[in-house]
Amino acid sequence: MLKRTCAFVTSLLLSAALCAFAQSSRIQINAAQTIRPINPWLYGINTARWDESLFPGSTDEMLRTADRDAIEKIKASGITLLKYPGGNDADQYVWNSGTNNATEMDTDEFIALCRAVGAEPFITVNLNESPDLAAEWVRYCNVVKGYRVKLWEVGDEQWGTWARGHAPPEEYAKKYITFVKAMRAVDPTIKVATNVPLGSHPENWVEHVLKAAGEYVDMLTYTFFPQQSGKENDDTLMTTVGKFRSLVTTLREDVGRAMGSQKAASLLFINVGYNSVSHSPGPQTLQMINAVWTADMLGSMAELGTDIACFWALHNFYPPRGGDYGYISSDAANTPRYSYYVFPLFSQHLKGDLIATGSSDASVSAYASRFGKTLSLILINKGRRSHRSLEIDLKDFVPHPVAKVWTLDEKRKYNQLKDITQVSERFAVKVTPYSITAIEMVERDSVFPPVNIARQAKVTASSYSTIGPHFKPASAIDGKLHTRWNSAAWTKSNGQESQWFQLAWPKLQHIGFVRLYWGEMYGTNYKLLSSADGKKWETLHEVTNGHGGVEEIAVGHTKARYLKIDGSRGTKGISAYSIREIEVYDRSTMK
């Protein structure tokens, strides 16, 4: 792996309604036919030790020098696994060398990154060094540091003549065994992978390696970079997904013949590196087509039963051709590429059990999953010019009439659109060219949790404390009880002061219930007020001897755009008033 015709109701981009379906393509979903569980590790990515932007200082400085913006974006993307130390470079990297550049990402920083984003670590050891060095890496991670790294690989693409240390398959197999024995002697619970080629190989690599070393193999890794650099073509690219399916199917058959069906069934199959071009990426990697291809690959890998997949890569800009393997830019801006948005869309909407789908339109791929009472459908329009009108046909699933929808296309970066209404077992949607659309449906008999509309409000206050970073009004509606709004500090310190806290919505809300989580300070005397215009106020609730804690207030049938806590007396302290969280519930969502 190198560095590398109907009446539609909603927006112009996506709409849905009951209609005649005269010229629509058909998407069939059989909710009762489960294909297999989707492994959450399908949403992995490669990160490299030579990436100097993530932890540009030494290990001792990582809390101060870490690129927190990049880390936050990785976490937000839903990445579930991180592969390290980076492709072919793994076979020349000495993890504990004193000459390693301090600006590069070492083992401790890599694990810190995994923990910060909630991802499983996966490490490739250097086949060109001694098995003892690999074993020491396992010892350092799992014994000395207690990192519990379960997934390991011995060498990267050693079947390729370009690989550093390439040898015939029989010789590689012997070496692989010595590495696995040394590593398992330190931690017998680890899983170890060997990397194999997809497609035919002049030395019959898969057969020879697996027959010789099969009992030491827990996982099979392979890579897929279908296009040659400089010969990228959008139409050709989309056909490579079918080629990938065929290659993986053949690989599974070859593995079964070499190892026996029982052993083959126990293996984890891992696409350890994939992107659209084999090396030196060009502009195509920055375009929407790359996201469309990545999405179709993820859906196909889910259908094929892929256990782990690792997109290449997190950062990897290539200036000579103006391309970027990275799903975020390598500069300080960490600009998300189109491919970045595929991962939150899929990790949030293709999970649980994969269910059977069918599409009558070759230019539209459909993938669906069930998670509890939720059924999610992902539609990928691979056509570059045409909108597609689609008839959605649900079997063994009676949906609630309202469905949520998100889209990723050239103009919208995984944006949530207006809800689809009048959803039933048959409904219609229209998708834009080169787009990925997620539709989330729930069963008709589902009971929805009440909606906390405070999270949707604009919040203001008479004052806030400036002696800490989390005391602004917005901290009382962020869903976190460890943050809070505090009124101004050191004003009177005896609580004998007036302060107010206000929520405002752009339109009238149907308010039925308010829950207040007070902080260490609280209102002992206050009123809960409502207003339709911010001028004329109505008292909904009054407290004259409050005790703080959690207060639950039923307010009947209130229509308001503004809700205010108007305090006339607080408690003694640095600040007189403190609200950790306020929840306001829409009456129409309360049962």
pLDDT tens by residue, 280-322: 999 999 999 999 999 999 999 999 999 999 999 999 999 999 9
pLDDT tens by residue, 543-578: 999 999 999 999 988 999 999 999 999 999 999 999
> What is the model's pLDDT at position 401?
96
> What is the model's pLDDT at position 492?
87
> Among candidates 565, 538, 458, 559, which has minimal Cα distance to 504?
458
> What is the model's pLDDT at position 557?
86
Residue 14 pLDDT more than 80?
no
Q: How far is Cα 434 from Cα 495, in angstroms, rounded to an integer?
A: 60
Going by pLDDT thresholds of 50, 70 and 90, the confidence category of residue 19 is very low
Q: Of residues 407 and 15, which shows the higher confidence score? A: 407
> Is residue 322 left, alpha or beta, with left meaning phi > 0 and alpha meaning psi from -120 to 50?
left
Which residue, chain included where needed, has tokens 């540009």?
A: 56
9-35+352-442: in CATH 2.60.40.1180 = yes
Calculate the CA 112 to chain-centre distance.
Answer: 18
Domain boundaries 39-349, CATH class: alpha beta
> What is the model's pLDDT at position 463?
97
> What is the model's pLDDT at position 590?
56
> What is the model's pLDDT at position 493?
81
Burial class of residue 428 (count of CB atoms within 10 Å of its CB; 0-12, 13-18, 19+): buried
pLDDT tens by residue, 312-368: 999 999 999 999 999 999 999 999 999 999 999 999 999 999 999 999 999 999 999
pLDDT tens by residue, 135-153: 999 999 999 999 999 999 9
Q: How far is Cα 565 from Cα 502, in angstroms, rounded to an integer?
A: 6
> What is the model's pLDDT at position 7?
35
pLDDT tens by residue, 482-521: 999 999 999 988 889 999 999 999 999 999 999 999 999 9
Going by pLDDT thresholds of 50, 70 and 90, the confidence category of residue 22 is very low
User: What mean pLDDT comes out for the span 99-118?
Assistant: 97
What tokens appear for 297 in the block? 């690959």
Residue 415: φ, ψ to 5°: -95, 140
The secondary element (H helix, E strand) that includes residue 249 is: helix 234-259
Which residues fall within 8 angstroms of residue 186, CB to CB, at 6 or more apart? 135, 138, 139, 142, 143
Q: How far is Cα 219 from Cα 425, in angstroms, rounded to an integer?
A: 41
Percentage above 70 pLDDT, the chain: 95
> What is the model's pLDDT at position 538?
97
Q: How far is Cα 314 from Cα 337, in angstroms, rounded to an integer?
A: 10
> Among candidates 249, 246, 321, which has minimal Cα distance to 285?
321
Percent helix / strand / coil, the chain, rounded to 5: 25, 30, 40
Domain boundaries of the chain, sorted by first residue:
9-35+352-442, 39-349, 453-589
> What is the model's pLDDT at position 9?
35
Residue 3 pLDDT more than 70?
no
Q: How far is Cα 81 from Cα 77, in angstroms, rounded to an integer?
A: 12
> What is the model's pLDDT at position 448?
83
Which residues fall within 8 angstroms of residue 68, CB to CB, at 6 or more apart? none
Going by pLDDT thresholds of 50, 70 and 90, the confidence category of residue 11 is very low
Q: Regarding the domain delimited by 453-589, which CATH topology (the fold level of the hierarchy) does it fall under?
A: Jelly Rolls (2.60.120)
Instruction: State the chain's mean pLDDT as an integer.
Output: 94
User: What mean pLDDT comes out for the span 103-110?
Assistant: 97
> What is the model's pLDDT at position 21?
36
> What is the model's pLDDT at position 591?
53
Residue 13 pLDDT more than 70?
no
What tokens appear for 458 in the block? 């604009």
> What is the model's pLDDT at position 449?
84
CA dihedral 458, 463, 467, 469 (to 10 degrees): 0
Per the CB < 8 A criterion, the answer to whether 546 and 524 are in contact is yes
